[in-house]
Amino acid sequence: MDRDLAPLAARLRALPPSCGPVRLIAVDGHAGSGKSTFAGRLADALGGVPVVHTDDLATHEELFAWGERCADQILGPLSRGETARYGVYDWVRGEFTEERALAPAPLVLVEGVGAGRRALRPSLACLLWMELASEHSWERGRLRDG
């Protein structure tokens, strides 16, 4: 376990469920701020909890307009204690090519730009914001995305 994240993991486990039986935790921040890396480390510190990436929900045409898709395909089923099934967008092919199943685990992370948006907050147990100086975020994003 990542000992640096152990205290945070313990605090998150102690939160009450926020979306049916699920404690939904958002990891949000600017592009290139380290959200995906941090969410992966946190998921490991929490014992391998599932992580939903907003990049799987967004499309070329709807970079930020994935909220309704998230509500219908993920939040609705999880709030009812059901397995969510959501489409995964293939950024190379430009279409949804895969479907993922997400069981209502005790704790689920959602990471990506907009993961903590106002429309999702009623379903969140906690919002974690990643902050990095804009010049560092920009450089990280360019290195990653070209």
For 132, half-sphere exposure in the C-beta direction (CA atoms, 13 angstrom radius) is 17
Is the pLDDT at 141 greater than 90? The verdict is no
User: pLDDT tens for residues 11-61?
Assistant: 999 999 999 999 999 999 988 889 999 999 999 999 999 999 999 999 898
Q: What's the whole-model pTM score? A: 0.87
Domain with residues 3-12+22-145, CATH architecture = 3-Layer(aba) Sandwich (3.40)
Coil, strand, or helix at residue 87? strand
Is the pLDDT at 139 greater than 80? The verdict is no
User: pLDDT tens for residues 62-111?
Assistant: 888 899 999 999 999 999 999 999 999 999 999 999 999 999 999 999 99
Distance CA 96, CA 87 (A): 6
> What are the boundaries of each domain within the chain?
3-12+22-145
Helix H or strand E segment including 93: none
Q: Which residue has better confidence, 139 or 74?
A: 74
In this prediction, residue 130 carries a pLDDT of 93
Helix H or strand E segment including 67: helix 67-70
Tokens of 71: 């509500």
Is the pLDDT at 144 greater than 90? The verdict is no
